[in-house]
Structure 1
Amino acid sequence: MSLGRYAPLYPTHVPLNPLQKGAVALLSAAGALLRPARADLVAAVGETTGEWLLPSIRDRMRRDPLGAQILAERPRVTNATIELCRTMPPGSFGAAYARFMGDRRFQADERPPVRFVDDEELAYVMCRAREVHDFWHVLFDCHTNVFGELALKGLEFVQTGLPMTGLAVLGAQYRLPPADRELLQRHYLPWALRAGNRCEDLMSIYYERHFEEDLERVRQEHRIIPAPQPPQHLRFRGPQPPKPPRA
């Protein structure tokens, strides 16, 4: 008899019972510690440790008119989204997003699919959080170096409470040299706490409707505080640990 559920609930679903899911969480966590650039392992940890929080995020979205509309319409962020944003006017949120992705040669389609969430709607919530991550980079002006990624993970933890975001910050910062860790703790993480509490619910923003709008206007509308520039005497230096993946 199979230990898993009887049938997948959505195309990428891998049904697991609690014992199997615990094993995936432990093995993926161990693998992610050894190879932090493995986005698939980090994604597996996020899904197997954070599934219990997804209903609260979903319910919060349901109470918001735009959040409810996102759940009903289920927009996806794909490479076609990037191409659309390339046509947006200069200075717009969409143009800034297209430039962000192009400068780094990022592909919107490269993120790992949701596999271990045992509810089709909650799987979309996890997928949405994963896909709008780069929108947050643009809106909060967070670099994709290790400091920018960790600061944004801290902000995500404030906003969502998902354990993997907090674990990423706790684990990765202690692989930094002491001066760099001081920079993160004194400047970036306090910003993440302040900005995460001040801005609107990031999961209930219909980003696709703002592509043509001026970037600064979008930031003001949603009470977004861009990330600070570190002071010159504390700018990071020396070899850096692998930055958290974009999962």
Structure 2
Amino acid sequence: MNLLYNGHIPTNSLQKLILTLGSSIISILDPTRDDMVATLGETIGINAARYMQRKMHKNDEGKQILTEKPIINSSTINFNYLASLPQNTLGKSYLDWYNNNNVSPDTRKPVHFIDDPELSYIIRRNRDVHDLLHTVLGMPTNILGEVCVKWVEAIQTGLPMCALSSLFGPLRFNKRQKKLYVDYYLNWAVNCGYNSNFLMAIYFEKYWEESLKSFRKRHNIQEPPLIIK
């Protein structure tokens, strides 16, 4: 099988089955193994990728994303420009989120095991915009914030790994997080997932200058109930 895109690793059905079993066992034993979590996401997420592909092709902005295939990392995003934007714009909020959470857009794992160039890009795009979802949803990187974002992603994309994270992530909550989750965040996250515009079809990079409040309103993203500490 020929390489279909940069980083592609051709695999047959048996090899994919072995990858699925192996990565699932390792992911359960050690959830910090993001390489195994990414591999499992690819081997069991092909139907979800096709679902996202159909949704994006039905949307003008989604089609533009699939045509231009923008990549989000430190070499493609002008962080000096984002820093110059007014407070509470999407771009400045995105930069502030990175600074506040001490993370980088360069840590996302590349796609290897999807045997279709456009579907592989869709999985890559989903990983690239994950931090932007944290920004527009107002969620930090702690376990409660991650579970909330995963609920939105699971509902909107159908990705099995997002569904598993949203269902089993709460098992790691402490007592205070459980109360916040039940009282405020679960219902809010589910509503965002069902009622927001299809987030994978938003060309986020075109809206850096828009206020975060306006962006949320235009895309039916409900304001977060409060700041998670």
Q: Is the 8 A contact 1:48 1:116 kept in 2?
A: yes
| Matching residue within 140, 143, 146 for 1:146 | 143
Give me the whole-angstrom Cα distance separating, in 1, the residues matched to 2:179 and 2:13.
39
User: Shift of the alpha carbon at 1:89?
Assistant: 2.6
Q: How far 1:185 sits from its partner (Å)?
A: 3.8
Q: Partner of 1:65 in structure 2? A: 60
Structure 1: state its 5+ residue gaps.
1-5, 237-247
The 3-state SS of whatever aligns with 1:79 is coil
Q: Which of 28, 39, 42 is matched with 2:37 structurally?
A: 42
Q: Secondary structure at the match of 1:174?
A: helix
Deviation of 1:7 (Å): 1.9
Q: Does the CA-based 8 Å contact 1:13-1:114 persist in structure 2?
A: yes
Structure 1: distance between partners of 2:159 and 2:222? 21
Q: Report the TM-score, using the length of structure 1 for normalisation.
A: 0.86
What is aligned with 2:178?
181
1:15 & 1:120 partners in 2: Cα distance?
12
Deviation, structure 1 residue 115: 0.8
- Letter in structure 2 aligned against 1:104: N
What amino acid is aligned across from residue 202 of structure 1 in structure 2? L
Q: Deviations over 1:45-85 (max 9, x none)?
A: 11111112211211110110110011001111111315142
| Counterpart for residue 119 of structure 2 | 122
For this pair of structures, how many residues does the alignment match?
Answer: 227
Structure 1 residue runs of 4 or more that deviate by more than 6 Å after TM superposition? none
Whole-angstrom CA distance in 2 between matches of 1:187 and 1:29: 31
Counterpart code for 2:70: P
Cα distance in 1 for partners of 2:222, 2:142 equals 19
The equivalent of 1:163 in structure 2 is 160
Root-mean-square deviation (CA), in Å?
1.8
* C-alpha separation in 2, matches of 1:179 and 1:79: 36
After TM superposition, give the deviation of residue 184 of structure 1 in Å: 2.5
3-state SS of the aligned residue for 2:197?
coil
Partner of 1:227: 224
Q: Alpha-carbon deviation of 1:86?
A: 2.2
Kindly indicate whether the alpha-carbon contact (under 8 Å) linking 1:28 and 1:42 is maintained by their aligned counterparts in 2.
yes
Distance (whole Å) between structure 2 residues aligned to residue 35 and residue 186 of structure 1: 30
What residue in structure 2 maps to residue 113 of structure 1? 110
In structure 2, the residue corresponding to 1:28 is in which secondary structure?
helix
Residue identity over aligned pairs, in percent, reads 35
